[in-house]
Amino acid sequence: MTASSPPAPPTGLSRPMPWVPPTVYAVVLIGGLYGAVIEAGPIRPLRSAGFVGCLLLLIALDRWEVHRHPVRTPPQPAVWLLIGRLALFAVAAGLDRSGVSRALFVLVPITAYSAFGRRVGVALSAVCVGMILLGTLLRVPEWYLRTDIVTDLLMSGLGLVLAVAMAAIAVGEQAGRVRLEDTLGELRDSHARLADYAARVERLSVAQERNRLAREFHDGLGHHLTAIAIQLEKASAFRDLDARVAERAITDARWSAGRALEEVRVSVRALRDEGEPFSLSAALADLVRHVDGGPARVTLDVTGEERGYHVESLTALYRAAQEGLTNAHRHAGAAHVAVSARYGEREARLVVADDGRGFAPGDGRGFAPGDDLGDRVPGTRDGFGLRAMRERVDLLGGRVEVDAAPGRGTVVTVTVPRAPVRAGASTR
């Protein structure tokens, strides 16, 4: 089993106050050697060598720890390193005749605070104060009567307090930088996700707009172009048989052309937010009036009040009426088509019923209630009109039902809510 390498530190982070330990070691080394030279008494080379050796060991230990753990030492190694440092501090202080080695204990709260937290750092600071006081008691008799000794003790205690404060600031700053790095990483991830989401939304929006425009072309221009073609065929057929019928067909064809142009203008005004209020009842009456008189008799029955209904719901019903009448004229061979609209409190219903040839559900030419209307439409190749009707109504939270049988005609029922269920559904 191989030992795992330590995790890589966050980018740009380092140890709190990395310059403090080398500075303290250098000051203590210079001060201790200077004291050994100028103090009275014989110079003891072994003692000085031991003192210098302790400081060199401390420097080497510090460099190794920084190399092994660049940001923070794990708890277990930190305990052994702290014990080793305390032992070397005590030996150095015992070998130093100048007393400057007591400054080494300032590093204890800094190291402990960084590795173990505030409580351990403060506790070990108190232990260091006790050790300095104990050493003074054992080495200096009646120390409390000497001002220099008392001053040194007070300054040592003050230095430890300041060391704790510095360690708290440094560790807090490092923690803040870690949080900042984490926040920046989360922001980068969020930005990437948002960019991906925006790209997906853009693609979906383009597809949705493409489908909407296809529905508009079919339901608007497609219906009127179909009507124009039927009326012109009728005029051509009756040109020599009945001039009045032919003239009426040409008039209806002109109306369909004008209506198609008007719907294009309405769509342009809607895109520019210049649309006028839409009245379904008036639009249905106008539609039936110009369709009636052809091969089939068309009647209209409206009950209820359309006020309060969303324009999208009303437009979907109008498009359904257009599609139903077009199919009845082109494919059903009906003699009578009944269009009815009923406005309820919560939903509106449009029914287009004809007495044409009908079809058998599931025979490959027609469609049964609940089937995919776009795949089985009699008389058409792709059934786009009824598929567009289903898509338009589904977007609003409504439903489309078809009832048909051979020789019994076809009934198309479209129900839409007062307001679209889906936010942002657009049918215009």
Indicate yes or no: pTM above 0.85: no
Per-residue pLDDT, 301 = 92
Residue 218 has pLDDT above 70, yes or no: no
102 contacts: CB under 8 Å, gap ≥ 6 = 93, 132, 152, 156
Pairwise pLDDT comparison (15 vs 3), residue with the higher score: 15
Token duo for residue 286: 């106008």
- Which among 103, 110, 106 is positioned nearest to 32, based on CA atoms? 103
Angle subtended at Cα 346 by Cα 342 and Cα 351, rounded to the nearest 5 degrees: 30
Residue 3 has pLDDT above 50, yes or no: no
307-364 pLDDT, tens per residue? Answer: 889 888 888 888 888 888 877 777 777 788 999 999 998 899 999 998 888 776 544 4
Per-residue pLDDT, 276 = 58
Beta bridge partners of residue 354, listed in sequence order: 337, 410
Residue 148 has pLDDT above 80, yes or no: no
Per-residue pLDDT, 383 = 56
Q: Mean pLDDT for the chain? A: 76
d(CA 402, CA 353): 10
Residue 233 vs residues 238, 239, 256: alpha-carbon distances, Å: 9, 10, 14
Per-residue pLDDT, 347 = 92
Residue 41 has pLDDT above 70, yes or no: no
Per-residue pLDDT, 212 = 64
E strands, 76-194, in order: none
E strands, 220-362, in order: 297-303, 336-343, 347-354
- Which among 96, 28, 33, 95 is positioned nearest to 58, based on CA atoms? 28
Element (H, E) at 273: none
Please tell me the total number of residues recorded for the chain in this structure: 428
Classify 179 in phi/psi space as left (phi over 0), alpha (psi -120 to 50) or beta. Answer: alpha
Element (H, E) at 364: none
DSSP one-letter code for 334: -
Per-residue pLDDT, 4 = 42
Residue 414 has pLDDT above 90, yes or no: yes
Classified as helix, coil or strand, 67 is helix
Per-residue pLDDT, 266 = 60
Beta-carbon neighbour count of residue 266 at 10 Å? 16
